[in-house]
């Protein structure tokens, strides 16, 4: 990890962000303080959102804030159009999925660790080729999901085994009750590195701001890289933490 304390702000050109947990609660709009801080940062730097979800959903959640958005770990990329005040989709990749093989491997995990009872489907298949192994099922109630594994201890006990079972995917400990998977080589570091190369930026020009940097977190690939990482452990503290970039 590049130490944020050694950041040379004279070289800083781009700030990249995670959304949920960093700027706001899960699937909720930003509060006024965090919105105002993004506005201030945008006066000095280029901004990009690097998300796990689809670009359109992220844009809507951000209440159409003017920002480029990378979605689905890099499978999608949309550039903000200041004239139309909307997104222009530049890239929207999708990969095939061997559902029979995925189901067999998901069943193995369930049988071994006792998650054989679940609501809805065992696995959610996304149009991009990403998948979600929903331990409580795709139709589990929100309260049950939130209470299941908020500190991620349960899933991290067998995270390495899931990684080994799904070698064609990058595996993340998603939300509070699932494993999210993106086809290799896609993850946030891959996506951000590609964005830099496409926009003639070096890694020393970038800071990433995120919260999910522990084992299996979807920000971990950036946290463990040469890109400077600003940790936000509580989205309500983002505006205060980000002052160091002004």
pLDDT of residue 8: 85
Instruction: Extract the tokens encoding 164.
Output: 């080994």
- Is residue 54 domain-shared with residue 119, that is, in the same domain? no
Name the domain boundary from 183, 205, 221.
183
Instruction: Read off the tokens for 74.
Output: 């890099």
Q: Which of 183, 207, 235 is the last residue of a domain?
A: 183
State whether 173 and 202 are in the same domain.
no
Q: Are residues 161 and 213 in the same domain?
A: no
- pLDDT, residue 5, reads 74
The domain in which residue 87 lies consists of 4-93+186-245
Structural domain tally of the chain?
A: 2
Residues 146 and 197 in one domain: no
Same domain flag for 193 and 174: no
Q: Please tell me the distance from the alpha carbon of residue 94 to that of residue 224, in angstroms, as a whole number.
A: 27
CATH of the domain at 140: 3.30.1240.20
CATH number at residue 204: 3.40.50.1000
Q: Do 85 and 107 belong together in one domain?
A: no
Residue 146 and residue 117 share a domain: yes
| Residue % of the chain over a pLDDT of 70 | 99
Q: Are 129 and 148 part of one and the same domain? A: yes
Closest CA to 58 of 76, 31, 82: 76
Residues 88 and 104 in one domain: no
Final residue before a domain boundary, out of 165, 183, 201: 183
If asked whether residues 85 and 157 sit together in one domain, one would say no
At residue 142, what are phi and psi to the nearest 5 degrees?
-60, -40
175-209 per-position pLDDT tens digit: 889 999 999 999 999 999 999 999 999 999 999 99
Residue 4 has pLDDT above 90, yes or no: no
42-45: long-range contacts, CB 8 A cutoff, minimum separation 24: 42/66, 42/67, 44/245, 44/246, 45/12, 45/13, 45/14, 45/15, 45/245
Q: pLDDT band for position 28 (50/70/90)?
A: very high
Question: What's the rounded Cα separation, in Å, for the pair 153 and 172?
Answer: 13
For 125-181, the pLDDT digits (tens) are 999 999 999 999 999 999 999 999 999 999 999 999 999 999 999 999 988 899 999
Residues 28 and 144 in one domain: no
Q: Please give the share of the chain, as a percent, with pLDDT higher than 90.
A: 93
pLDDT for res 7:
84
Domain co-membership, 177 together with 116: yes
């Amino acid at each position: 990890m590049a130490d944020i304390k050694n950041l040379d702000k004279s070289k800083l050109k781009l700030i990249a962000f995670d959304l949920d947990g960093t700027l706001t609660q899960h699937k909720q709009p930003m509060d006024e303080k965090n919105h105002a801080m993004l506005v201030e940062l945008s006066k000095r730097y280029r901004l990009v959102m690097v998300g796990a979800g689809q670009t359109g959903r992220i844009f809507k959640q951000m209440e159409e804030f003017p920002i480029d958005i990378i979605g689905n770990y890099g499978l999608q990329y949309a550039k903000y159009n200041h004239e139309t005040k909307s997104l222009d989709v530049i890239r929207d990749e999708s990969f095939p999925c061997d559902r029979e093989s995925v189901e067999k491997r998901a069943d193995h995990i369930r049988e071994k660790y006792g998650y054989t009872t679940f609501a809805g489907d065992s696995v959610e298949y996304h149009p991009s080729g990403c998948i979600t192994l929903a331990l409580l099922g795709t139709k589990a109630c929100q309260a049950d999901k939130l209470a299941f594994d908020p500190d991620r201890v349960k899933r991290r006990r067998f995270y390495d085994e899931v990684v080994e079972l799904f070698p064609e995917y990058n595996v993340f400990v998603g939300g509070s009750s699932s494993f999210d998977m993106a086809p290799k080589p896609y993850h946030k570091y891959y996506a951000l590195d590609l964005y830099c190369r496409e926009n003639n930026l070096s890694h020393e020009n970038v800071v990433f701001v995120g919260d999910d940097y522990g084992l299996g977190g979807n920000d971990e690939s950036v946290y463990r890289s040469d890109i400077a990482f600003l940790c936000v452990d509580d989205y309500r503290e983002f505006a205060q933490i980000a002052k160091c970039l002004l």
